[in-house]
Amino acid sequence: MKVALYIGDHSGDSFAARAGWWLTRNTQKGAFGDVTHVEAIHAEHGDGTVTIASASLRESGVRAKQVALDPTHWRIVDVGLWDVQRSVALLAETNGLPYDWRGALATRLPGRHDNSAWFCNEWVGYPFLRESWTFGPHQFAAVCLSLGREITEPFFRSRAA
């Protein structure tokens, strides 16, 4: 399965969301501290768009959507051990469930996740990792890159052709 790691800005988000992204970026450590969101890539389309799925703060919970990813804001990782069909099945079970603010904050502050809600890397990692709610986006990026390989350049090059 391909995973998209967001490294863009959040200038279009609400003040509360921007504050959350600021907290995320400024409390993360290591080479992937700029990653603030992750998506599972469920499908690639002939027009250069992809179908992505995750739990999104912007859309208030679990959802999938077809988008054209901006290569200046995303790193793409192919995690060959992860079967996209398991992620598609999770979407069928959880689509529309709310965003887990408490869980997202618990990756940076003391606390636990909400068992009835999801945040991005908790959702993307759930079919494949134990305790996926314990990872922040930067840790999740490190796990993905440890298990898979970065394919950002060829991924976007194939869309530009």
Could you read off the pLDDT of 37-90 as tens digits, one per residue?
Answer: 999 999 999 999 999 999 998 888 999 999 999 999 999 999 999 999 999 999
Q: What is the pLDDT of residues 87-136, one digit of tens each?
A: 999 999 999 999 987 777 767 666 677 778 999 999 999 999 999 988 88
Q: E-strand spans in 45-129?
A: 50-56, 61-67, 74-78
- 10 pLDDT more than 80: no
Backbone angles phi, psi at 2, to 5 degrees: -95, 140
Is 106 within 8 Å of 38 (Cβ atoms)?
no
Q: How far is CA 50 from the centre of its chain?
A: 14
- The mean of the pLDDT values for the chain is 87
Strand order in the sheet with 50-56: 61-67, 50-56, 37-44, 2-6, 74-78, 149-150
């959350």: which residue's tokens? 20
The domain ranges of the chain are: 2-160
**Helix or strand run (H / E) with residue 140:** helix 137-147
Report CA torsion sign: 72, 78, 82, 85: positive
CA neighbor of 61 nearest in space, from 99, 25, 14, 95:
99
> What are the helix (H) ranges across the chain?
15-27, 84-94, 101-106, 120-125, 137-147, 152-160
% residues pLDDT > 90 (the chain): 60
